Structure 1
Amino acid sequence: MVSAFVNEWCDAHRSEVIGWRRHIHRHPETSNKEVHTTEFVAQILREHGLEPRLFPETGLLVDLGPDTEQGRVAFRADIDALPIQEVTGLEYSSEVPGVSHACGHDVHTTIVLGLACALAAYDQQHGLSVGVRLIFQPAEEVWVGGATDVISWGALEGVHSIYAVHVEPKLRVGRIGVRTGAITSATDVLELEVSGPGGHTSRPHLSADVIYALAKVATDLPGLLSRRVDPRTGTVAVFGHINSGFAPNAMPETGTLSGTVRTADIGVWRNMQQLCSELVEHILAPTGVEYRLKYHRGVPPVLNDDVATALLSAAATAIDPQSVVQAPQSSGGEDFSWYLEHVPGSMARLGAWSGEGEQYDIHMGDLVVDERAIGVGIKLFGSVVAQCAHVED
């Protein structure tokens, strides 16, 4: 009954919900600056009879339904935008220069906001039998993600499971990609500084070649990782920055190298810093350079729980038997993983391609999302609530 009610509410309020998304899209705010977005979401929640709890700076949560011994099912939306200029030319394009919802967080926010309002209407008319928590999280796009703050503020207290979606512009709208286990990767950053006395390229034996040392790490570390770590874990080091020197005949005194280390295996991730430190030391030992390695741990992989993913798949199938597809494992990072360190849950890929024309990509200024995906997301989460209610019954 909950699912059918949410579906009807979603269809009846489609224009209103799309309007919310376009408002958020026009007024994007970067991480930890989501003041207007927080106020906008809170205002709509209050208009629907709900009492949101604001986080200390930005973001909020709201509870619906009863407090039960089983706890609440939670749904998470990320509300921040990216420092990327939008170039879509849409009539509701970002009005903030250099900032846009190029990762689809405006869609995520609207989905969870729509779910809250639909469930509020159901609760007023029929009474929810299951407790629900809606989390509007700030700062997903920054290191190491706002989820850690949200958790420290008590957002998971009394929660038994948590769900989320992420728009997938490579997947046709109406399709829902599910995957048990790792659906994203851990993402760490490695920064290396090397130094030596410098010198002339005609006398390299009298110096320590920092460029050679940087090149050794850039080429040898990825290869050594492939021999020290099971290749089935999707572990890879890729460098995006290398800098040293100023003249072809002068050996520089300093140089820097930085990149990312990614893995889909939680056990590998927990040992990766020590392993990289050991390998870099062995690579640089023969070169004679001094070095300083900074290893920044990022987010763990999103590890979808098998029971929660089965429930999510069943919820999607209940709406459309043809909707569920197998989601590929991504090498990107997602701070939803921090929630899953505390409670079981699952993240799905939400199809956002119209089925015609170009397939866009996230974190690009030309990203266009088929807005029908919003209704699919709301109905999916409504079906999850119905599945949870059935389990508790």
Structure 2
Amino acid sequence: MTSDTSSPRTETGLGGSSELGARVADRVPDLVVAHEPTARALRRDLHAHPELARAEHHATARIAELLTAAGAEVKLLPGTGLIADLGPDAPRERTIAVRAALDALRTPESTGLPYASTVPGVAHACGHDVHTASVLGAGLVLADLARTGDLPHRVRLLFQPAEEVMPGGALDVVGAGAVDDVAAIYGLHCDPSLDVGTVGLKAGPITSASDHVTVRLRGTGGHTSRPHLAGDLVFALGQVITQLPAVLARRVDPRAGVNLTWGAVHAGDAANAVPAEGFAAGTLRCMETEAWHHAGELVEGVVADLVRPYAVRAEVDLVRGVPPVDNDIHATAALDAAARALLGDDGVLPTRQSLGGEDFAWYLHHVPGAMVRLGTRTPGGPTYDLHRGDFAPDEGALAVGMGVLALTALSPRALPGG
């Protein structure tokens, strides 16, 4: 964080033109420093005790305890997750939401950290512990301002379960009415390709649509010496694995960035037996919403055509996941102003649309908002990619995430028309 941020705040209008707004914004860096140890302790607690989707009971209870003690109005969501309101009662048009995801991945951890996962085969390899601690820390900063009457509008913190599964927990939160009375929503996601002290921003689509696809083939099975009598299921599955991505790439506009990548394949256990059943499972990703719908509609018909010559039956299970996160231009500008006030111009970098999926996208179908990418790489250090067991973000990112989210939530720019 830059130590002298008064000039950028004045230029970006974080507090409007009022002296009070500038004074409140000036308090944020010191409040971040005061609350960062609590955020760090929470992050390490969650990291050591990761919980899978819709089982985030420890995380929910711990966050509720901290925010209740800070004076927030806490409401538990059905199952797991919670919302916490800060500041004065306000109508929808003066309420901002900030969202974090709670769940971990079914991935073994290999970081060797003293607070590494104590749950075998489960780890926070996507950085949701960092997201959650950043939003919690920002909430503690805003709670301090609310107690002194310096929070200018309502802020709602959303701690969402089940981001890592499809369909994701964002749909549960929306269904519970958590964004019905919200004017705009903001979030962040770890980016291990960016150094700590920087963030990445982009107006428009910043992630891609993502679905889960499973293709199951069934036949009679038999001896490998007589594949013509058994129906060569493994060969047919190979055709699906290689040809389905190729056909989609030629039936959908290539500018839409359609990508089908397989992550799991299984068929048979013996070298001399044709199996009676096999499957391939993967993800279908697309950079455009319209093309996403078209690609999904094609899959079942293409698979049927591919396996028809091989005397096997195909069953396609396509689970609709998420559309692209489409950052609102006005909300992106609010994040940009807050980040520049905190980090300086060099701390805000342009970023490209990725093929990753994020169910934050569903909130943006109901309310405008934007997601920022949070740099988590130690400057000069290695890049630990997401969804790897050795993913080890630099904890210096917590103060950055806290500050950017707190300043955004304070800003009149963060409200539509502000």
Q: CA deviation at 1:85?
A: 3.0
Q: CA deviation at 1:165?
A: 0.5
The residue number in structure 1 matching 2:13 is none
Identity over aligned residues, as a percent?
Answer: 44
Match of 2:376 among 334, 337, 352: 352
Equivalences for 1:207-222 in 2 at 5 Å?
Answer: 207-222=230-245
> How many correspondences in the alignment?
393
Gaps of 5+ in 2: 1-21
Q: CA deviation at 1:113?
A: 1.0
The residue number in structure 2 matching 1:151 is 174
The residue number in structure 2 matching 1:297 is 320
Equivalences for 1:181-200 in 2 at 5 Å?
Answer: 181-200=204-223
- CA distance in 1 between counterparts of 2:397 and 2:304 reads 49
Match of 1:265 among 288, 303, 323: 288
Amino acid at match of 2:55: K
Q: CA deviation at 1:220?
A: 1.4
Q: CA deviation at 1:210?
A: 2.0
Match of 2:123 among 90, 100, 114: 100
Q: CA deviation at 1:243?
A: 2.9
1:322 alignment partner, SS class: helix
Contact in 2 for aligned 1:130/1:389 (Cα 8 Å): no
The residue number in structure 1 matching 2:340 is 317
1:13 alignment partner, SS class: helix
Residue 27, structure 1, aligned to residue 66, structure 2: no
Bigger shift: residues 73-82 or 60-69? 60-69
- CA distance in 1 between counterparts of 2:75 and 2:310 reads 57
Deviations 1:208-265 (A, max 9, x none): 3222221222111111111111122111112233333455554443332222211111
The residue number in structure 1 matching 2:307 is 284
Q: CA deviation at 1:149?
A: 0.7
Amino acid at match of 1:19: A
Equivalences for 1:69-88 in 2 at 5 Å?
Answer: 69-88=92-111
Deviations 1:28-67 (A, max 9, x none): 2222221121111111111111221111221111112231
1:285 alignment partner, SS class: helix
Bigger shift: residues 74-83 or 90-99? 90-99
Q: CA deviation at 1:175?
A: 0.8
The residue number in structure 2 matching 1:388 is 412
Q: CA deviation at 1:23?
A: 2.6
Amino acid at match of 1:335: D
Bigger shift: residues 56-65 or 89-98? 89-98
- CA distance in 2 between counterparts of 1:184 and 1:284 reads 33
Question: Residues 282, 102 of structure 1: CA spacing in aligned structure 2 closer, same or farther, 3 A cutoff?
Answer: same
- CA distance in 2 between counterparts of 1:245 and 1:80 reads 34
Bigger shift: residues 221-230 or 17-26? 17-26
- CA distance in 2 between counterparts of 1:30 and 1:250 reads 37
Question: Residues 390, 218 of structure 1: CA spacing in aligned structure 2 closer, same or farther, 3 A cutoff?
Answer: closer
Contact in 2 for aligned 1:76/1:164 (Cα 8 Å): yes
The residue number in structure 1 matching 2:251 is 228
Question: Residues 14, 273 of structure 1: CA spacing in aligned structure 2 closer, same or farther, 3 A cutoff?
Answer: closer
Amino acid at match of 1:149: D
Contact in 2 for aligned 1:245/1:252 (Cα 8 Å): yes
Residue 179, structure 1, aligned to residue 207, structure 2: no
The residue number in structure 2 matching 1:371 is 395
The residue number in structure 1 matching 2:7 is none
Amino acid at match of 2:213: L
Residue 119, structure 1, aligned to residue 119, structure 2: no
- CA distance in 1 between counterparts of 2:30 and 2:78 reads 35
Question: Residues 390, 46 of structure 1: CA spacing in aligned structure 2 closer, same or farther, 3 A cutoff?
Answer: closer
- CA distance in 1 between counterparts of 2:228 and 2:111 reads 55
- CA distance in 2 between counterparts of 1:37 and 1:116 reads 16
1:159 alignment partner, SS class: coil
Question: Residues 284, 16 of structure 1: CA spacing in aligned structure 2 closer, same or farther, 3 A cutoff?
Answer: closer
The residue number in structure 2 matching 1:39 is 61
- CA distance in 2 between counterparts of 1:246 and 1:386 reads 60
Contact in 1 for aligned 2:86/2:156 (Cα 8 Å): yes
The residue number in structure 1 matching 2:11 is none
The residue number in structure 2 matching 1:3 is 25
2:345 alignment partner, SS class: coil
- CA distance in 1 between counterparts of 2:117 and 2:184 reads 34
The residue number in structure 1 matching 2:190 is 167
The residue number in structure 2 matching 1:58 is 80
Match of 2:265 among 226, 230, 242: 242
Amino acid at match of 2:66: I
Q: CA deviation at 1:309?
A: 1.4
Q: CA deviation at 1:267?
A: 0.9
In the superposition, the TM-score normalised over structure 2's length comes to: 0.88
Over the aligned positions, Cα root-mean-square deviation in angstroms equals 2.1
Deviations 1:74-126 (A, max 9, x none): 10011122233333222333333333222211111111111111111112213
2:93 alignment partner, SS class: coil
In the superposition, the TM-score normalised over structure 1's length comes to: 0.93
Q: CA deviation at 1:167?
A: 1.1
1:301 alignment partner, SS class: coil
Contact in 2 for aligned 1:173/1:355 (Cα 8 Å): yes
The residue number in structure 1 matching 2:361 is 337
Amino acid at match of 1:372: G
Contact in 1 for aligned 2:36/2:137 (Cα 8 Å): no
Question: Residues 237, 14 of structure 1: CA spacing in aligned structure 2 closer, same or farther, 3 A cutoff?
Answer: closer
Gaps of 5+ in 1: none
Contact in 2 for aligned 1:3/1:379 (Cα 8 Å): no
